[in-house]
Chains A and B, each alone.
Chain A
C-alpha cells in the first residue's frame, strides 16, 4: 500500500528534488518488504543501492540539470493507454502464478532443492544465496560485474576529461550558468 502510494507520488510530483526523495523512501519500503519475505540479501542490496547510492546520483543529476519538470501541454493518452494495458496484462498474468509459498511451485521443484541440500557441502559456504550467485551462477555474476564496469566506463567517456577541457578552452564563461 505504502509502496504503491510512494510510487504514484514520485510520478505525480512536479518538483524533481522531492521526486528523488520519494523514490528513496520507495526503495527503503521495498527493502523492508524484502525483509518480510525473508529475502535478506535482496533487501540489503535494495537498501544500499536503491535507497542510498541511486538517490545521491539522482540528486547530482538534478543539480546539473534543473529541479522542475517542464509542463507539457499535450495530453499523453497513447502512453497512458499503453502503460495501463501492459499493467493489466501483467496483473492478469499473476493470476496464473502458483499461490505464494506453494510447495509445488516450479521455483521450489527445479534446482532450488539441490542447492539447499548440497550447496553447503559442495561449496563450504553456509549462505546459500552467496553460493548460488558466486558458484552455481558464476557466469551470470561475471556478466553483472562486466555490465557495471561498462556503465562506469560509459559515464567516464560521456562526462569525462576531454570534453571538459575542450569546454574550458572554447567558452570560459560557461561555468557561471552551470
Chain B
C-alpha cells in the first residue's frame, strides 16, 4: 500500500486529528455524546489507519503487544479499582459518592476515572485484535 501518495499524505494529515478527536470524545463524554467506548475505538482506528496505509511493523513498534496487554489490564483494573476505592472510603462498590465531600462531585470524579479506564481498555483490546490478525499474514 506504500505507493499511493495521496493516501499517505492524507493519512498523515488525518491521524493527529483523529487522535485529538478521540481524546476530545473521551474527556467530553459527560457533556456531550461520547465516552470511553467510542473514544477507545477512535484512538484504535488512528493506529489501524497508520498500520494499513504505512506498515504494520512500525505501528507495532509504537504499540508493542506487551504494552497493549498491560494497558488493557490497566483499564479494567482502573475501573474496578475506583469501585474498591469507594469501599475503602466507606461507600459501596461503584457508588462514587464517597470519593469527595460532596456526593455529586464524587460521582463526577468517579465517572471521569472509570470512563478513562474504559477508554484505555477498549483502545488496547481493539489494537490487540487488529495486530494479532495482521500478524498472521
Contacts and interface: CB of A to CB of B under 8 A. Distances in A.
Interface of A: 40-41, 43-45, 48-49, 52-53, 56-57, 60-61, 63-64, 121-127, 129-131, 133-135, 138-139, 141-142, 144-146, 148-149, 151-153, 155-156, 159-161, 164, 178
A138 to B, nearest CB: 4
B126 to A, nearest CB: 6
A123 B35 contact: no
Interface of B: 25, 29-35, 37-38, 41-42, 44-45, 48, 52, 65, 69, 72-73, 75-76, 79-80, 83, 94-96, 103-105, 107-108, 110-111, 114-115, 117-118, 121-122, 124-126, 128-130, 132-137
A152 to B, nearest CB: 3
A48 B41 contact: yes
B76 A146 contact: yes
Contacts of B128: 152, 155-156
| A-B residue pairs, 5 tightest by C-beta | A152-B125, A124-B108, A138-B94, A123-B107, A40-B33
Given A142-B79, A145-B117, A155 B132 contact: yes
Contacts of A159: 132-133, 135-136
A160 B34 contact: no
